[in-house]
Structure 1
Amino acid sequence: MTEASIARVLIDSPLPQLDRLFDYAIPENLREEARAGVRVKAPLKTLGRLVEGWIVELTDTVGYAGKLSELDSVISPFPVLAPEVWTLARAAADRAAGNAADVLRLGIPKRHARAEKSLPEPAMVSYEHSGEPLAVTYFDADSITTLFAANKRAALAAPTGVVEISPGKWVGRWAVTMAELAAQTLARGSTAILATPDFRDQEQLEAAVTALVPEDRILRLDARQSVQRRYGNFLRTHDGTPYVIIGNRSVVYAPATKLGLLVVWDDGDSLYSENLSPYIHTRDAALLRQEQQQCALVFLSHSRSTEVQRLVEVGWFGAMSPGGIRPPKVIPSANQVSQDRLAAIARIPSAAWKAARAGLDEGPVLVQVARPGYAPRLACADCAQTARCTTCAGPLAQRSASSTPSCVWCGALAVKWRCRECDGTRLRMVGSGSARTADELGRAFPGYRVIVADGDHQVTTVSSEPSLVIATRGAEPVAEGGYRAVLLLDGAGMLARESLRVSEDCLRWWSNAIALAADGAPAVVVGVGGALATALVTWRQEDFASSELADRRELRFPPAIRVATLTGKVALVAAAIEQLPVEPLDVLGPVDLPDGVVRTIIRFDYKAGPAVAEQLKALVVAATTVSRSNRKPGMPRASQPAPGLRVHLDDLEPFVDL
């Protein structure tokens, strides 16, 4: 065959046995279009149909002696699979014992023909910052220079407070730090990729970047865009022009041949965890990409995750703290209602009451609560048992003072409800959601505007006018000039959640809320003591992360070690455990689950990770092959046997009930 007459194709399929490159002959009519990276259709005899895939590489040699099947067609002439993205997807999938195609589906948007037709010509004009040399305002200039020059990895403690970047537009100082790092990268002729967990943070970051970087050098990639806009921006990343690329968890897979910087904001946020196989966390993908492309990598946060703390302690990451900003003023408070009449109406301690009263004289006051709605939980007034739905047994809640209680799970209205335990018919409210807290604070502070920000009320900014802002964790708006006081009311309730990460998560939620306060404004934390209160008062969250990591290291809990969960039939799981190559191996379980399957947890050291992942992938392939061989001709797909073994590496879900 002539040169480049063979295409090596990755099939776009979730089947683990197809997670390899297949060789196809390129017919004469496709020689010009069949380039590395384009999406194609090819025949697959094992499935008896045409399948889609990506050409990973072209070659003129093949080890197969028989006749190769030919490519059927080229779906699009645009090379959507960049070499650096393929390398990252392959490494990420191997680390998680998953499929590379599943990873690529996260990073490559769906095709949109109109976006391809309207794609502008690349500008290919170098961007150089004019005026004073670029700087990262709150950090030492020499440390930042070293970070870029040596392609270092660093954990940065984010500066607190908010700043006005343009008339009437306020953002957190953390966003300014990311924007300045990105502007430096762009001035060096390289691309910067910036990841945020949700749209609220992304909007702040976009505003900060727009103030420093030309608009035509900013690309946004996230699921909130239209298919055409997202695919169009994705295609532009391939044109060789340096960009600042902003997005959520999948933006880490954006193409960038000359990648200079990767920044992940608040990596402890659960939104960075991918819910689809192979369940790769954005943080892990960023670490792999930094190693492959030797770019600078920054994890920026107010409260450091235990995963990043481990990397700092083993010397893989450096640590930097901001300067020139006074730490927030944090006041712990006991969870005892004040004797003051108005404070008693709002059910808040006297310290919180005084802080709110003084803050409202100057501007907005933020009140963080744990849950949305009116009453997050209802109980039987007679026996105090949790009130449950008569249809599905889910817990009942109340969304507003006038609404009928309904089921949290199925949404059924609790009309003519009757307790299953004592046959009682009266309900009582347990706890306060955002709506109930807003009602009570509105009565306690008459004459002030009350704003609710939660999942049902999306508010991203508030003015500097005096007001009470009741927000659930993570939904706090940015206030012009910062909040004049911050009240964190549900500390004890948040800590009551059963999870391995509960303390770490609470510290992060509280730190992010406190960071929205104006410089010098007080933050009152109710019902929190011990090491958590100390970390907030001293504003040394890294000390708490270090202590938490030490405890997990002693107990052999992640992230001190790696874990994998194996779910399937008893015999398959037992056989898989016996074949794993690591000795000694910690095995927890099996534990019975619904539908006749069991779950076993294995724990192993990081150095054993590649061997364990490789063996688990082989076991999944073998189990899937057996499962497919048991299918009967003509059997409906829904009735066919499910895959026999499911593997999830770095899974924290089994540790929820510890």
Structure 2
Amino acid sequence: MAGGSVARVLVDSPLPQLDQLFDYAVPERFREAARAGVRVRVPLRSGGRIANGWLVELVGTSEYEGRLSELEDVVSEVPLLMPEVWALARAAADRAAGNAGDILRVAIPSRYVRAERAWRAAEPDAGELPARAAPIPGYESGRFEAGIDAGERMSLAADPRPVRLGSGEWVGAWAAILAAAAAHTLAADRSSLIIVPDYRDQEQLQAALADLLDPRRVLRTDARQTGGERFRAFLDATGSDARVIIGNRSTVYAPAARLGLIAMWDDGDGLQNEQLAPGVHPRDAALIRQEQSGAALVFLGHTRSVEVERLVEIGWVHDVPAVKQVKPRVIPTEHQAAPEPGSARIPSSAWRAAQQAIREGPVLVQVARPGHAPLLTCDRCREPARCAACGGALVVPRSGGDPRCVLCGTSASTWKCPVCEGTKLRAATVGASRTAEELGRAFPAARVILSDGERPVLRVGGEPALVVATRGAEPIADGGYRAVLLLDGERMLLRESLRVAEDCLRWWSNAAALASPGSPVYLVGVAGALANALTSWRQAEWASGELASRRALRFPPAVRVASVTAAPALVARALTAAQAAADGVDALGPVPADEGLERAIVRFDYSAGAAVARALRAEMITVSTERRRPVTGRPPKRPSVLRVRFDDPDVP
């Protein structure tokens, strides 16, 4: 078609064959409303259906020689899909063999008409830009700021202590560092994106930013907001004013005027894993966006993830060391005296320290799991005890009696270990509720505070209290904790995962960083290299050793992986296509999966990622478009399924 306006539209569909731009004619009635970035509705030629989509761009001509269908409707009144967000979504989807539309559903919140019209009617007022702030503390004078100005990729170790803001509120030093970096970027009239795992971190970061910036310059986007509030914040981000945008993993896709900084706090946290297809980790999306925008990229954490360690070792990310290393006083208790009677799994030295510390202020006790019932393992080989009927974990009921399955309730009075054939059980973990009860009896004069997923506590005061928290749910204390007890280390390490040691080191490091300077941190039940890394506060060295081990075994992130799940014949076909796409591609499996399907793991070097993604993507399109004729007298077969996930975090 020549002449007139042509809209290039991405149809909002999970079907891989529709993940491309389609040309539509723009009718005269939509000439003013049809702009790049708006939501539209378009006809599909199959069955006369109408589908939602995004108007990605307007062009003058189309390569299609036939008659173009017209846009059915223009839905949004303002452009929501910014060009830089579209470029990021397309590149991230191609890297993961996924649909760009799936990423846009994560990136752009649902539309609220009332919020959109109120935003259009309002006068933009983002407040004043800040003046140049003092140098960011903890690093060589001007080094961090120079890296931000130059668009450098950096990895930094956070200062492991709580700090007091000018407002009197206490936050982790990491929040103050990121707030200072965002203020430095905003002073140059450039925006920042700061990605954190959950709302606890957001609260600290927002408090630190409020201490330095006009609150109107800070936008928060997360699931705890109402739909209208989140959409309004998104609309503000599409404006021309530089902003600091904070939120969870989807924040990496937020529009930002003149992007100058992308920062991630604790990128190894499991909450950073994107659960929705195609499952692109925000760390990978941030790396793509940094290349596209030229903004600075900062990875900050107490524990460096193995993925970031690989980037540091190949020179893609620069290590920015602290001028003076501050580290908590960590004391491993594995080789100390046995626990005293009634001490709730706490060795005598840690017990005495807690008794003394609680006279001065709060004491933190970190446990592995919530609840009341003890989790059991084999007394001989420490294998987790599982139900013979369904495989669920065995626990001791609160009322006493024989162990039972937490899932089906089956009694395990005749349990036998499948590994060593032992018949005796031992309590590996006691839940947070029972731990709080036991410690409440041991410390009758102390206030006991329980914090877990069901009873979240964000912060506690500086007065004496005993705080029992599950991992990741530890509240920050005014002035820091006077002692920290890290329990259930042995149980945490029993989890079957490639990342279990890395996760444990991160959990323990984050909890230890909540202690006041000089206060003791007791690590119970763990010895060896992991305990040494925490005690010496050399997590980066441990990550380097872990990466070397994975490199020798060709485990991620030394190589990339993709999981392929389908019927046996389709898995074999997909593996053949992947191995033909590039050299050095190998496969693990297949092994049985759910509902008669099989699952295989494809391993390949990073240089082969694009070729493998194209090959598997082609197989997904082929499977999705295959038509099977029904056989007379037989029920119709279910459509074939081929699921592919790159960099699958569930790969054991």
TM-score with structure 2 length normalisation?
0.92
Structure 1: where are the runs of 5+ without partners? none
Displacement of 1:396: 4.9
Displacement of 1:421: 5.3
Q: Does 1:129 align with 2:130?
A: yes
Deviations 1:331-377 (A, max 9, x none): 11117664655xx4323112211221221121111111111111242
Q: Who is 1:117 aligned against?
A: 117
Q: Who is 2:51 aligned against?
A: 51
Are the counterparts in 2 of residues 156 and 298 from structure 1 also a CA contact under 8 Å?
A: yes
Q: Who is 2:237 aligned against?
A: 237
Per the alignment, do residues 327 and 387 of structure 1 end up closer, same or farther by CA in structure 2, a change over 3 Å counting? closer
Q: Give the letter for the 2:35 counterpart.
A: R
Displacement of 1:481: 0.2
Which residues of 2 match residues 87-236 of structure 1 at below 5 A? 87-119=87-119, 121=122, 123=124, 127-130=128-131, 133-236=133-236
Displacement of 1:590: 1.5
Per the alignment, do residues 528 and 389 of structure 1 end up closer, same or farther by CA in structure 2, a change over 3 Å counting? closer
Displacement of 1:186: 0.8
- Partner Cα separation in structure 2 for residue 250 and residue 87 of structure 1: 16
Displacement of 1:211: 1.1
Q: Give the letter for the 2:646 counterpart.
A: L
- Partner Cα separation in structure 2 for residue 248 and residue 642 of structure 1: 35
Q: Who is 2:40 aligned against?
A: 40
Displacement of 1:129: 2.4
Which residues of 2 match residues 187-586 of structure 1 at below 5 A? 187-324=187-324, 326-334=326-334, 338=338, 340-341=340-341, 344-377=342-375, 394-397=392-395, 408-409=406-407, 417=411, 419=413, 431-580=429-578, 581-586=581-586
Displacement of 1:437: 1.3
State how many pairs are aligned.
639
Deviations 1:294-350 (A, max 9, x none): 100001000000000000000001112334563111111117664655xx4323112
Per the alignment, do residues 339 and 6 of structure 1 end up closer, same or farther by CA in structure 2, a change over 3 Å counting? closer
Q: Who is 1:76 aligned against?
A: 76
Per the alignment, do residues 631 and 428 of structure 1 end up closer, same or farther by CA in structure 2, a change over 3 Å counting? farther
- Partner Cα separation in structure 1 for residue 302 and residue 517 of structure 2: 15
Structure 2: where are the runs of 5+ without partners? 417-423
Instruction: Report % sequence identity.
Output: 52
Per the alignment, do residues 393 and 643 of structure 1 end up closer, same or farther by CA in structure 2, a change over 3 Å counting? same
- Partner Cα separation in structure 2 for residue 487 and residue 239 of structure 1: 47
Deviations 1:412-450 (A, max 9, x none): 777xx574759xxx9986531111111222222221111
Displacement of 1:639: 7.1
- Partner Cα separation in structure 2 for residue 593 and residue 539 of structure 1: 40
Per the alignment, do residues 399 and 578 of structure 1 end up closer, same or farther by CA in structure 2, a change over 3 Å counting? same
Are the counterparts in 2 of residues 260 and 295 from structure 1 also a CA contact under 8 Å?
A: yes
Are the counterparts in 2 of residues 42 and 70 from structure 1 also a CA contact under 8 Å?
A: yes
Are the counterparts in 1 of residues 192 and 259 from structure 2 also a CA contact under 8 Å?
A: yes
Per the alignment, do residues 589 and 340 of structure 1 end up closer, same or farther by CA in structure 2, a change over 3 Å counting? closer
Deviations 1:489-520 (A, max 9, x none): 11111111111011111100000000000011
Are the counterparts in 1 of residues 38 and 80 from structure 2 also a CA contact under 8 Å?
A: yes
Deviations 1:566-603 (A, max 9, x none): 11111111122222311232121121223222111111
Q: Give the letter for the 1:646 counterpart.
A: R
Are the counterparts in 2 of residues 41 and 73 from structure 1 also a CA contact under 8 Å?
A: yes
Answer with 616-625 or 390-399: which moved more. Answer: 390-399
- Partner Cα separation in structure 2 for residue 336 and residue 268 of structure 1: 31
Displacement of 1:236: 1.0
Q: Give the letter for the 1:327 counterpart.
A: K
Deviations 1:582-630 (A, max 9, x none): 123212112122322211111110011111111111110001111xx23
Q: Give the letter for the 1:604 counterpart.
A: F
Per the alignment, do residues 535 and 392 of structure 1 end up closer, same or farther by CA in structure 2, a change over 3 Å counting? closer
Q: Give the letter for the 1:129 counterpart.
A: P
Pick from 634, 646, 649 the counterpart of residue 649 of structure 1: 646
Are the counterparts in 2 of residues 568 and 598 from structure 1 also a CA contact under 8 Å?
A: yes
SS of the counterpart of 2:439?
helix
Displacement of 1:136: 1.3
Are the counterparts in 1 of residues 474 and 511 from structure 2 also a CA contact under 8 Å?
A: yes
Are the counterparts in 1 of residues 564 and 600 from structure 2 also a CA contact under 8 Å?
A: yes
Deviations 1:441-497 (A, max 9, x none): 222222111111111211111111111111111000000000001111111111111
Deviations 1:136-166 (A, max 9, x none): 1222232123212210000010111111214
- Partner Cα separation in structure 1 for residue 636 and residue 371 of structure 2: 41
SS of the counterpart of 2:600?
strand
Per the alignment, do residues 640 and 178 of structure 1 end up closer, same or farther by CA in structure 2, a change over 3 Å counting? farther
SS of the counterpart of 1:653?
coil
Q: Who is 1:622 aligned against?
A: 622
Per the alignment, do residues 27 and 450 of structure 1 end up closer, same or farther by CA in structure 2, a change over 3 Å counting? same
Displacement of 1:257: 3.6
Deviations 1:55-91 (A, max 9, x none): 0000011111110000000111210100000000000
SS of the counterpart of 1:105?
helix
- Partner Cα separation in structure 2 for residue 18 and residue 506 of structure 1: 42
Are the counterparts in 2 of residues 567 and 647 from structure 1 also a CA contact under 8 Å?
A: yes
Are the counterparts in 2 of residues 336 and 348 from structure 1 also a CA contact under 8 Å?
A: no
Q: Who is 1:605 aligned against?
A: 605
- Partner Cα separation in structure 2 for residue 321 and residue 46 of structure 1: 59
Displacement of 1:135: 2.4
Q: Give the letter for the 1:490 counterpart.
A: D
Per the alignment, do residues 624 and 351 of structure 1 end up closer, same or farther by CA in structure 2, a change over 3 Å counting? same
Displacement of 1:408: 4.0
- Partner Cα separation in structure 2 for residue 166 and residue 403 of structure 1: 55
Deviations 1:497-547 (A, max 9, x none): 111011111100000000000011111111221211221121110000000
SS of the counterpart of 1:111?
coil
Deviations 1:90-139 (A, max 9, x none): 00000000000000000100011111121164536674324x73421222
Per the alignment, do residues 605 and 390 of structure 1 end up closer, same or farther by CA in structure 2, a change over 3 Å counting? closer
SS of the counterpart of 1:93?
helix
Answer with 583-592 or 399-408: which moved more. Answer: 399-408
SS of the counterpart of 1:327?
coil
Per the alignment, do residues 105 and 419 of structure 1 end up closer, same or farther by CA in structure 2, a change over 3 Å counting? same
Are the counterparts in 1 of residues 402 and 413 from structure 2 also a CA contact under 8 Å?
A: no
Deviations 1:26-76 (A, max 9, x none): 011011000000000000113530000000000011111110000000111
Q: Give the letter for the 2:210 counterpart.
A: T
Are the counterparts in 1 of residues 217 and 242 from structure 2 also a CA contact under 8 Å?
A: yes
Are the counterparts in 2 of residues 631 and 640 from structure 1 also a CA contact under 8 Å?
A: no
Are the counterparts in 2 of residues 160 and 325 from structure 1 also a CA contact under 8 Å?
A: no
- Partner Cα separation in structure 2 for residue 445 and residue 499 of structure 1: 36
Q: Give the letter for the 2:584 counterpart.
A: P
Are the counterparts in 2 of residues 168 and 480 from structure 1 also a CA contact under 8 Å?
A: no
Q: Who is 2:420 aligned against?
A: none
- Partner Cα separation in structure 2 for residue 406 and residue 47 of structure 1: 54
TM-score with structure 1 length normalisation?
0.91
- Partner Cα separation in structure 1 for residue 96 and residue 532 of structure 2: 37
Are the counterparts in 1 of residues 167 and 211 from structure 2 also a CA contact under 8 Å?
A: no
- Partner Cα separation in structure 2 for residue 89 and residue 385 of structure 1: 44
- Partner Cα separation in structure 1 for residue 541 and residue 314 of structure 2: 15
